[in-house]
Structure 1
């Protein structure tokens, strides 16, 4: 196994930073890491109240506004950010962040983690197809689900074994 440079730079990609379950979980997890081991950065498409808490915890927040539902410029900015900041892991939370963050991971060959917090992330066929593509083509790619039921739904909808 190769040497690992510490701290490991993890980019957390999330749709917005409004107050909600996923956003609060993101704050709790990222603020609990030993910053000498894991350096968390949050990238969001829309700023919100949780960004203040993240910044107070010395977690950088980078906002890349999404101009339209499918925004190629956003993807290019995200890829550039990953390369420029030497991101070592991309962790996506939610359907749209998985599309953009997964594509950035694919093009930069960055390890990918996808957290699925609810079935809403699986409701759009295009996003499910992207999830399947990233699992098959981003190495390594890890999916985290919040329940066994959700894990079963991921397998059923993506036909992954």
Structure 2
């Protein structure tokens, strides 16, 4: 079986790696995701030659549970939303063949890996995309809300969510096995 490839090169990193990766990777496109209140004193500035999608939302995986309910009660609008997922999809559709895409968030674990997963799903199956994300960023835990919204927008019928959830189950079972050893 031939492994599918993206028509562009992609890198995922956290904020602490961003400076070095900008210099060495030399992206043509950046998908930047930070908290809504992040970088007001020291905003990120990228070269004008780079096409940038900058999104701001908290890393919430559900609007239920104690944290989601607490923030909902405070009328917070900084949840991941379907509009964020649509912006990621639109951005992904504009990336030309041969492009170099850097996705980053605070830690490079959840929001950026979800965005990268959505970009990959535009070109391959959800399972292939999840496998690629794990190769690019071991330890990835894609933000479930962004994945859920993108799954709906791309009419993936739950396949994107299932790929991420299946990965999380695999990670969990491997962790339990390593603890038992």
TM interval, shorter chain, is: 0.3 to 0.5
Larger Rg: 2
Bigger fraction of residues in strand: 1
TM-score of the aligned structures, taking structure 2 as reference length? 0.44
Task: Kindly indicate whether structure 1 or structure 2 has the higher relative contact order, using CA contacts under 8 Å at least 6 residues apart.
Answer: 2
